[in-house]
Amino acid sequence: MFLSKEEEKILNGEYGEVKQLAMKLLVKLGEKFKAEKLISISSVQIAGISYKTIGDPGLEFIESLVNSGAKVCVPAFMNPAGMDLDNWKELGIKEEFAEKQKRIVEALKKAGVIPASTCTPYLCGLLPAKDEHIAWSESSAVIFANSVIGALTNREGGPSALASAIIGKTPYYGFHIKENRKPKLKVEFLGKIKDECDMYALAYCIAKQSKDIPYIKGVNVHDSDLLKGFGATLAAYNSLAIFHMENITPEAKEFCNGNIDFQDKIKIDEKDLEKAKKEMGEEGEEADVIMIGCPHTSAKEIAMINEMIGERKLRKEMWIFTSKPIKVLIERSNIAKELERKNVRIIADTCPVVAPIEDLGIKCVVTNSGKATFYLPSACKAKVIFMPIREVIERFAI
Ligand code: F3S
Q: What is the pLDDT of residue 198?
A: 98
Ligand 1, closest atom to CA 293? 6
Residue 161's CB is within 10 A of a number of other CB atoms, namely 28
Which residues constitute the domain of residue 145?
5-178
- What is the atom index within ligand 1 of the atom nearest the CA of 138? 4
What pLDDT does residue 212 have?
Answer: 94
Last residue of a domain, one of 178, 209, 232: 178
The pLDDT value given to residue 262: 86
CA distance 349 to 120: 11
Tally the domains of the chain: 3
What is the band of 285 on the pLDDT scale with cuts at 50, 70, 90? Answer: confident
* CA-proximal residue: ligand 1, atom 4 (nearest): 119
- Identify whether residues 216 and 254 lie together within a single domain: yes
- Asked if 206 and 217 sit in the same domain, the reply is yes
348: helix, strand or coil: strand
Give the HSE-up count for residue 106: Cα atoms under 13 Å, Cβ half-sphere. 10
Specify the 3-state DSSP secondary structure of 151.
Answer: coil
CB 79 within 8 A of CB 138: yes
Q: Strand, helix or coil at 68? A: coil
For residue 233, pLDDT over 70 is answered with yes
Nearest to 164, CA basis, from 4, 266, 172, 188: 172
* Range 11-35 burial, b when 16+ CB lie within 10 A, else e: beeeeeebbbbbbebbbebbeeeeb
User: Could you report the per-residue pLDDT of 168-203, keeping only the tens digit for each?
Assistant: 999 999 999 999 999 999 999 999 999 999 999 999
Of 122, 142, 371, 380, best ligand 1 pocket probe by most atoms within 8 Å of the beta carbon: 371
Average pLDDT over residues 250-268: 84
Q: Assess whether pLDDT exceeds 70 at residue 73.
A: yes
Which of 189, 236, 201, 172 lies closest to 3, judged by CA?
172
Regarding whether 379 and 389 lie in a shared domain, the answer is: yes
Residue 345 has pLDDT above 80, yes or no: yes
State the greatest distance between any 2 C-alpha atoms of the chain, in Å, as a whole number. Answer: 68
Nearest residue (by CA) to ligand 1, atom 3, is 294
For residues 202 and 250, membership in a common domain is answered with: yes
Q: What is the average per-residue pLDDT within 219-238?
A: 96
Low-confidence winner among 146-155, 250-259, 327-336, 338-347 (lowest mean pLDDT): 250-259
Of 279, 299, 320, the last residue of a domain is 279
Do 124 and 326 meet the contact criterion of CB atoms below 8 Å apart? yes
CATH number at residue 343: 3.30.499.10
What pLDDT does residue 259 have? 65
How confident is the model at residue 260, as a pLDDT? 73
Mutate to test the pocket of ligand 1, among 354, 367, 373, 384 (most ligand atoms within 8 A of CB): 354
Does 137 share its domain with 189? no
Query: Do 23 and 109 share a structural domain?
Result: yes
The model's pLDDT over 88-127, given as tens digits with 9 standing for 90+, comes to 999 899 999 999 999 999 999 999 999 999 999 999 999 9
- Same-domain pairing of 80 and 167: yes
Assess whether 97 and 34 both reside in one domain: yes
Mean pLDDT of 371-390: 95
Ligand 1 centroid to Cα of residue 45, in Å, is 13
